[in-house]
Amino acid sequence: MNTDSPEPATQPGMAERAIDTAIDVSRTFGEVTGGLHAAVDRLTAAIEEARKPGRPLATVAAITREAPLTSLLIAFLLGAAIARRR
């Protein structure tokens, strides 16, 4: 008998596969979290830009402060019109 022969390759056990799966899920979760963080940063920057004086969001905010009930009625009518089209 030759004792120097290499042992046959063994398949990974259930624990090794579970660890590999957990590592893959962790990496995927990290990638998703990074993507969401980047999207939130872009959205925050866009909102800050739109809130500058003279921009659309600043105008809407000013109108809403001046006439809140009128603004609410207009928003409701726009929502109803959009909902009817769908």
For residue 12, give the amino acid letter. P
Among candidate residues 26, 22, 6, the one with its CA nearest the CA of residue 14: 22
Residue 51 CB contacts under 8 Å (≥ 6 apart), including other chains: 57, 58, 61
Q: What is the pLDDT of residues 16-33, one digit of tens each?
A: 888 888 888 888 988 999
Q: What is the pLDDT of residue 7?
A: 55
pTM of the predicted model as reported, rounded to 2 decimal places: 0.51
Question: Which residue intervals of 1-86 are DSSP H helices?
Answer: 14-50, 56-66, 68-85
- Alpha-carbon gap, residue 24 to 45, rounded angstroms: 32
Q: What is the pLDDT of residues 67-83, one digit of tens each?
A: 999 999 999 999 999 99
Q: Report the mean per-residue pLDDT for the chain.
A: 86
- Alpha-carbon gap, residue 25 to 86, rounded angstroms: 38
8 pLDDT band (50/70/90 cuts)? Answer: low
Q: Poorest-confidence range of 9-13, 17-21, 36-40, 56-60?
A: 9-13
